[in-house]
Chains A and B, each alone.
Chain A
Amino acid sequence: MSEIDLIPLNKELPKFIPLGRSGLLPALHAAQKLYGWLPQEVAAEIAKSLRVPLADVHGVIEFYSLFYNQPVGRNFIRVCTDQACALKGADNLLVNLCKHYDVEPGQTTEELSLTIERSPCLGLCEQAPAALVDDDAQTNITPKFQSYDLGIPRSIVYGSIHELTANCGNGTTTLAKYGEYSAYQKALKIKPEDVITEIKLSGLVGRGGAAFPTGIKWEGAAKAEGLQKYIVCNADESEPGTFKDRILLLDDPHRAIEGMCIAAYAIGASKGYIYIRAEYPYIIPVLEKALDEACEAGYLGQHFEIEIRVGAGAYICGEETALFESIEGKRGFPRVKPPFPTTNGLFDKPTVINNVETLCNVPLIISKGALKYRKIGTEKSPGTKLFCVSGDVVKPGLYEIPFGTTLRELLKMAGGVAGKKSLKAILFGGAAGAFATPEHLNVKMTFEDLRAAGLPLGSGVVMVFDETREIRDALKRLGKFFAHESCGKCYPCQMGTQRQMEILDRVASGGVLSGDFFRLEDVGWTMTESSLCGLGQTAASAVLSAMKLWPELFGESQKSNVVGRKISKASKDSKVPKTVKKSIDKKATSKVVEKKKLKPKSKTITKVTKTTAKKK
């Protein structure tokens, strides 16, 4: 216990103390940087300094994949084995890498020099396969792991228009290059409510996936009572296949910051946060520098300041209320809504939380004016949209196109399916999206047309699968992803993602059991209809779409079975056993414990599992 030197930690901690509980994640990050992992004594010291209960500190460490409560390597290689990278041979890459260093995935070399882990999507999908080597992105890795680009990932930007991406593709745009915050200055000359009116007129809706009207959100927070209000920029981009915010923040950080400044003025917020996922470590210094520049130029610091907060490996923290919990130093459990963030958001104060891409639209709208902004796109879906194109296309990358472009046109821009193969499917919108087929190619990509076609726009993911690809493998990965990322709060998602994964594993391995189709349908439907937050409500979205498109993949003809099992008649094995009835009577009448009342143990146990083992 006494081997760990707490002096360096105690030098770091004072700066987190004023933050109170909200300083917990930053303090844990700082401590992990010092010690490589989070030993008990270190966690206890942090708990004491920040006055957070020990058990709560433990709960937070346990929740986030990237906090470690046991020794790990001084160096890390996190290989993305999610869908886009899998299409480019990530599994083999991982095997070779592990063989090379003589470790298993998730293990650490004996002398604690290196840990190799599988990672959920790293947001480097257009340069797959990719890995994170400590804080550097490693992209386009060849199977033998010999040549690679190490450092800050390149930004590959295409498209038929460059509004949001005007400054993207040529490295970071400094303030000197970006120019003064002219939209912000223009906004300051009009009343805050007029800024909101302009945003409402523009028809801008959220680009994170939910497509909520931005102006209405701002108005809600502006009108909410309270002196302290917050702006939060959601940069926890973790939807598999999504990398647009990575490019926007790396190449043009000032656009998002200016958007935040305008939002702050519009709703009367004095403090903002950028919450960025820990899998984008190379963006953090870029953002810090941009914030410094904006402070020096006087845009930040007087009326409005921005703090960067870093996640710790939890997809759920992209959900707005889970993100608030995370900033507050808690496990990333989503909250029940209502109340909504506009009245009860971060620290229970009125809060506007917007996605990076949404905020990047704001300076454009203000400087051009809403009417001119609406000239691009369609009547109901104005503006441009960023699409993250990856998988089997000739030119994967970030594509900016006006709303209304068809999927076919987008694919054509991307050079079509690679290797002269034909198209099998497109995972559209992300893991929480749906599969599209060649029949969908003429769909115009607007909110209304996509809704009609049953395709969720989500975060703009277009992941292409050629004719040789096995959809069952994609489904298996989706299942694993959601089981890994469910927070565990509500029952449908906590157990449903696990059961979904198990069935999809069977589907992939060809070992489906009789009735699996209906099990999968019931689980998916129940998650969609009764989960607490957006994660659970969309965790089966892509799977259910695949079941409709390719029922034959699921091994069984789906006609025979009982879709609407009768509820009135109890099934054979669900009769209430007499002993249970007895124990209910007992519970109701008496508190005296009978002697030798051994309960009948219905041991239908199939597998022994160690639930204490930390999920990695």
Chain B
Amino acid sequence: MTVTFFMDGKEVSAEENKTLLEIARENGVDIPTICFHEATTANALCRICVVEVEGQRVLQPACIVKAASNMKVQTRSEKVIRARRTILEMLASTMDLSEAPEIQIMMYEYGASSSRFPDAERRQPEVKDDNPMFVRDYSKCLLCWRCVQVCAEDAQYTFAINFDGRGFETQIGTFFDRTIPETSCVLCGQCVAVCPTGALKPKREFLLEKGLSAQEISVLNTGRKKRK
């Protein structure tokens, strides 16, 4: 079965049960995403992929809304742009986006100003360097949830991490803030692989950035082995 509908005024046909995002991508229409990842369950939480669907009260997330016959979708209406721009501006006022180049490009595209919200509280927890494999710098975390999802039912079924706090103060955390080696973490690295902002980073990359040479890092490693 196929459905025929309208995307930005153009008639589009697609297989049934496909999301607006999938169809847009197949048709070369750019809808930005942040929390979406092919490997994880779409939660529609970043709302950056919102589009305007005629007849709907509010904007709709393209990552989960499925196309229906005769639907009229606007992917870049003024409303859509205003929402995306404001969300980006709020992100920039909240966290460190220096290692999120895709989001910086989005900001450029949508004319979002990184200084739109002066005197705004930022999330700046300390870097957690508590295991040999990866470093957690949650000041760069934009709460896309992907790490929690791959650690749980979306991939690994390890359940090492979940959330601290709620609302603006939400953060990814472990059971009573235990260090990673004290959790059920198996160091599979999937969370690091899906992190879009460098909040989770391989230890080696972290050390290289700190200015250590490959040789110095290797000495660190051998040292560890020797002690063992």
- A residues engaging B (CB < 8 A)? 40, 43-44, 53-59, 62-63, 69, 314, 331, 336, 483-492, 494-499, 502, 506, 513, 519, 522-523, 525-526, 528-532, 537, 564-577, 580-581, 583-584, 587, 593-602, 604-615
Which of B58, B108, B123 sits near A530, CB closer than 8 Å? B58
Q: Is the CB of A602 within 8 A of B175?
A: no
Least CB separation from A577: chain B residue = B104
Given contacts A575-B108, A584-B101, contact A611 B161 (CB under 8 A): no
B13 CB–A CB distance under 8 Å: no
Segment 56-83 of B: residues with Cβ below 8 Å from A: 58-59, 61, 64, 78-79, 81-83
Given contacts A490-B46, A571-B113, A583-B101, contact A599 B209 (CB under 8 A): yes
Given contacts A55-B161, A55-B183, A490-B46, contact A498 B167 (CB under 8 A): yes
B138 CB–A CB distance under 8 Å: yes
Q: Is the CB of B83 within 8 A of A492?
A: yes
Least CB separation from A65: chain B residue = B166
Least CB separation from B211: chain A residue = A596
Q: Is the CB of A605 within 8 A of B122?
A: yes
Q: Which chain B positions have C-beta within 8 A of A314?
A: 166
Q: Is the CB of B121 within 8 A of A530?
A: no
Q: Which chain B positions have C-beta within 8 A of A595?
A: 208, 213-214
Q: Which chain B positions have C-beta within 8 A of A569?
A: 111
CA distance A571 to B111 in the complex (A): 6
Q: Which chain A positions have C-beta within 8 A of B162?
A: 53, 55-56, 58-59
CA distance A568 to B209 in the complex (A): 35
Segment 74-94 of B: residues with Cβ below 8 Å from A: 78-79, 81-83, 85-87, 89-91, 93-94
Q: Which chain A positions have C-beta within 8 A of B175?
A: 40, 43-44, 54-55, 57-58
Please list 5 pairs of residues, one from A and one from B, whose beta carbons are closer than 8 Å in the complex, sorted by A's number: A55-B183, A490-B47, A491-B90, A530-B87, A575-B108
CA distance A568 to B108 in the complex (A): 9
Can you name 7 extra interface pairs (CB under 8 A) apart from A495-B90, A598-B209, A602-B96?
A: A58-B174, A490-B44, A496-B86, A574-B111, A584-B102, A607-B122, A612-B177
CA distance A487 to B44 in the complex (A): 14
B192 CB–A CB distance under 8 Å: no
CA distance A314 to B162 in the complex (A): 18
Q: Which of B50, B83, B173, B183 has the most chain A CB atoms inside 10 A of its CB?
A: B83
B133 CB–A CB distance under 8 Å: no
Q: Which chain A positions have C-beta within 8 A of B199?
A: none
Q: Is the CB of A604 within 8 A of B114?
A: yes
Q: Is the CB of A574 within 8 A of B112?
A: yes
Which of A488, A490, A522, A614 sits near B86, CB closer than 8 Å? A522
CA distance A16 to B126 in the complex (A): 38
Q: Is the CB of A605 within 8 A of B124?
A: yes
Smallest Cβ distance from B172 to chain A, in angstroms?
Answer: 10
Q: Which of A54, A59, A502, A614 has the most chain B CB atoms inside 10 A of its CB?
A: A59
Q: Which chain A positions have C-beta within 8 A of B61?
A: 336, 532
Given contacts A498-B167, A499-B120, A609-B122, contact A58 B176 (CB under 8 A): yes
Q: Is the CB of B138 within 8 A of A611?
A: yes
Segment 103-147 of B: residues with Cβ below 8 Å from A: 104-105, 107-125, 138, 142-143
CA distance A583 to B99 in the complex (A): 8
Q: Is the CB of B168 within 8 A of A495?
A: yes
Q: Is the CB of A513 within 8 A of B166?
A: no
Smallest Cβ distance from B226 to chain A, in angstroms?
Answer: 25
Least CB separation from A582: chain B residue = B101
B169 CB–A CB distance under 8 Å: yes
Number of interface residues of B (CB under 8 A): 83
Q: Is the CB of B107 within 8 A of A574?
A: yes
Least CB separation from B110: chain A residue = A567
Smallest Cβ distance from A513 to chain B, in angstroms?
Answer: 6
Q: Is the CB of B87 within 8 A of A607?
A: no
CA distance A160 to B50 in the complex (A): 47
Q: Which chain A positions have C-beta within 8 A of B163?
A: 59, 62-63, 331, 488
Segment 27-73 of B: residues with Cβ below 8 Å from A: 34, 43-48, 50, 58-59, 61, 64
Smallest Cβ distance from B19 to chain A, in angstroms?
Answer: 12
Which of A487, A513, A531, A570 sits near B108, CB closer than 8 Å? A570
Which of B138, B174, B176 sits near A43, CB closer than 8 Å? B176
Which of A523, A528, A564, A565 sits near B58, CB closer than 8 Å? A528
Q: Which chain A positions have C-beta within 8 A of B90?
A: 491-492, 495-496, 499, 523, 526
Given contacts A488-B143, A495-B94, A609-B121, contact A567 B83 (CB under 8 A): no
Q: Is the CB of A598 within 8 A of B211?
A: yes
Segment 172-228 of B: residues with Cβ below 8 Å from A: 173-177, 183-184, 198, 204-205, 208-209, 211, 213-214
CA distance A314 to B208 in the complex (A): 44
Q: Is the CB of A567 within 8 A of B85?
A: yes
Q: Which chain A positions have C-beta within 8 A of B159?
A: 53-56
Q: Is the CB of A63 within 8 A of B166?
A: yes
Q: Which chain B positions have C-beta within 8 A of A596?
A: 208-209, 211
CA distance A612 to B101 in the complex (A): 27
Least CB separation from B115: chain A residue = A573
B17 CB–A CB distance under 8 Å: no
Q: Is the CB of A611 within 8 A of B166?
A: no
Q: Is the CB of A607 within 8 A of B108?
A: no
Q: Which chain A positions have C-beta within 8 A of B161?
A: 55
Given contacts A58-B175, A606-B122, contact A519 B116 (CB under 8 A): yes
Q: Which chain B positions have C-beta within 8 A of A573?
A: 113-115
Least CB separation from B97: chain A residue = A602
CA distance A526 to B142 in the complex (A): 18
Q: Which chain A positions have C-beta within 8 A of B78?
A: 564
Smallest Cβ distance from B207 to chain A, in angstroms?
Answer: 10
Q: Is the CB of A576 within 8 A of B183?
A: no
Q: Which chain B positions have C-beta within 8 A of A490?
A: 44-47
B164 CB–A CB distance under 8 Å: yes
Smallest Cβ distance from B106 to chain A, in angstroms?
Answer: 10
CA distance A56 to B173 in the complex (A): 10
CA distance A532 to B65 in the complex (A): 13
Which of A62, A484, A601 sits near B164, CB closer than 8 Å? A62
Given contacts A491-B48, A495-B91, A531-B47, contact A614 B174 (CB under 8 A): no
Q: Which chain B positions have C-beta within 8 A of A506?
A: 119
Q: Which chain A positions have C-beta within 8 A of B112?
A: 571, 574
CA distance A162 to B45 in the complex (A): 44
Q: Is the CB of B47 within 8 A of A593?
A: no
B170 CB–A CB distance under 8 Å: yes
CA distance A597 to B206 in the complex (A): 10
CA distance A614 to B61 in the complex (A): 31
Least CB separation from A486: chain B residue = B167
Given contacts A530-B59, A537-B58, contact A615 B165 (CB under 8 A): yes
Report, nearest first, the 7 A-B pairs whose CB atoms are least far apart.
Answer: A53-B159, A59-B162, A488-B170, A498-B168, A54-B175, A55-B162, A486-B167
Given contacts A576-B105, A612-B173, contact A497 B168 (CB under 8 A): yes
Smallest Cβ distance from A203 to chain B, in angstroms?
Answer: 22
CA distance A364 to B122 in the complex (A): 53
Smallest Cβ distance from B53 to chain A, in angstroms?
Answer: 12
Smallest Cβ distance from A340 to chain B, in angstroms?
Answer: 14
Smallest Cβ distance from B96 to chain A, in angstroms?
Answer: 8
Q: Which chain A positions have C-beta within 8 A of B101?
A: 576, 580-581, 583-584, 587
CA distance A599 to B162 in the complex (A): 28
Q: Is the CB of A611 within 8 A of B125?
A: yes
Q: Is the CB of A593 within 8 A of B122?
A: no
CA distance A413 to B126 in the complex (A): 57
Given contacts A522-B82, A593-B204, A615-B166, contact A40 B176 (CB under 8 A): yes
